[in-house]
Amino acid sequence: MRPSLPAHSPRGLSLIEIMIAMVILTVVLLGMGRYMVDFSRTVRKSESRTVAVNLAAQRLSEIRASPNYSGLETNFATTETSIAGFLGYTRSTTITHVGGPRPTYTNDYKVATVAVTGPGLTAPIRKTIVVAVP
């Protein structure tokens, strides 16, 4: 003999319980969607910034490695509007001479500043070095 089930025993979920579960699931999914949009935007900005920092560092390394101190302005002070492999990036290099030759001046050095702009950057990335006379 099989025991009979009472007439009032629950056999599944009620409509209210299903609606509450759907609302909770919807809120969680919308929150995750918003997080993913913000996360992908941050990743794109970070990638643009990393490229700009590397382009500035590359130019400063070239300036440091140059054996021609007197020709730094001629060789490097320029604005590059198209950089091979980096579409949309612009790199500006300025070199300022401070002081002059001795014995008249006690200081003789150059300040090199590189500014890089690119897609997704709200402000240019700037890096500066000081190059002393050899």
Residue 132 is predicted with a pLDDT of: 87
The one-letter amino acid code at 1 reads M
State residue 44's pLDDT score.
86
Which residue's entry shows tokens 């006379």?
A: 133
Output the pTM of the full model: 0.72
Instruction: Using alpha carbons, select from 43, 51, 126 the residue that is nearest to residue 89.
Output: 51
Closest C-alpha among 126, 43, 47 to residue 86: 47
Q: What separation in angstroms does the CA of 11 have from each of 8, 14, 21, 123?
A: 9, 9, 18, 63
Residue 3: the pLDDT is 62
**Count of positions (residues) in the chain:** 134
| Half-sphere exposure at residue 8, Cβ-oriented, CA atoms within 13 angstroms | 0
Question: 62 by DSSP, 3-state: which?
Answer: helix
Residues of the chain with pLDDT under 50: none
- Domain segments of the chain as ranges: 15-132
pLDDT at 93: 96
Give the tens place of pLDDT for each residue, 70-99. 899 999 999 999 898 999 999 999 999 988
pLDDT of 6 reads: 59
